[in-house]
Structure 1
Amino acid sequence: MSARLNLPNTLTWIRIVLIPLIVVVFYLPQPWSGPVAAIIFSLAGITDWLDGYFARKLNQTSAFGAFLDPVADKLMISTALVLLVSKYPGFAVAIPAAVIIGREIAVSALREWMSELGGRQHVSVSGIGKYKTTAQITALIMMLWGQKLWFIPMYEIGYGFLLLAALLTLWSMGKYLMAAWPHLRGY
Structure 2
Amino acid sequence: MRINLPTWLTLFRVALLPVMVVVFYWQFPGHNITAAVVFLLAALTDWLDGYLARRMNLTSAFGAFLDPVADKLMVAVTLFLLVESHRGGWAGILMAVTAAVIVGREISVSALREWMAEIGMRAAVKVAFIGKLKTVMQMIALVVLIVQHEKSAEALRLYHIGEALLVVAGVLTIWSGLYYLRAAWPMLRGEPPRREPVNAPNDPV
Q: Report sequence identity in percent.
A: 54
| 1:161 aligned residue | 165
The question of 1:121 aligning with 2:141 is answered: no
TM normalised by structure 2 equals: 0.84
| 2:59 aligned residue | 61
- Max Rg structure: 2
Question: Which deviates further from its counterpart, 88-97 or 116-125?
Answer: 116-125
| 2:144 aligned residue | 142
> Judging changes above 3 Å, is the alpha-carbon distance between structure 1 residues 32 and 91 closer, same or farther for their aligned structure 2 residues?
same
Equivalent pairs counted in the alignment come to 184
Give me the whole-angstrom Cα distance separating, in 2, the residues matched to 1:39 and 1:64. Answer: 27
More helix by share: 1
Unpaired segments ≥5 residues, structure 2: 192-205
Question: Which deviates further from its counterpart, 51-60 or 72-81?
Answer: 51-60
Give me the whole-angstrom Cα distance separating, in 1, the residues matched to 2:158 and 2:9. Answer: 28
Task: From 158, 177, 180, give the equivalent of 2:184.
Answer: 180
Give me the whole-angstrom Cα distance separating, in 1, the residues matched to 2:40 and 2:160. Answer: 18
Q: CA deviation at 1:95?
A: 0.7
Task: From 28, 41, 44, give the equivalent of 1:43.
Answer: 41
> Judging changes above 3 Å, is the alpha-carbon distance between structure 1 residues 151 and 34 closer, same or farther for their aligned structure 2 residues?
closer
**One-letter amino acid of the structure 1 residue matched with residue 120 of structure 2:** G
**One-letter amino acid of the structure 2 residue matched with residue 99 of structure 1:** V
SS of 1:5's partner is coil
TM normalised by structure 1 equals: 0.91
Q: CA deviation at 1:63?
A: 2.0
Give me the whole-angstrom Cα distance separating, in 2, the residues matched to 1:123 and 1:78. Answer: 24
| 2:199 aligned residue | none
| 2:198 aligned residue | none
Q: CA deviation at 1:56?
A: 1.1
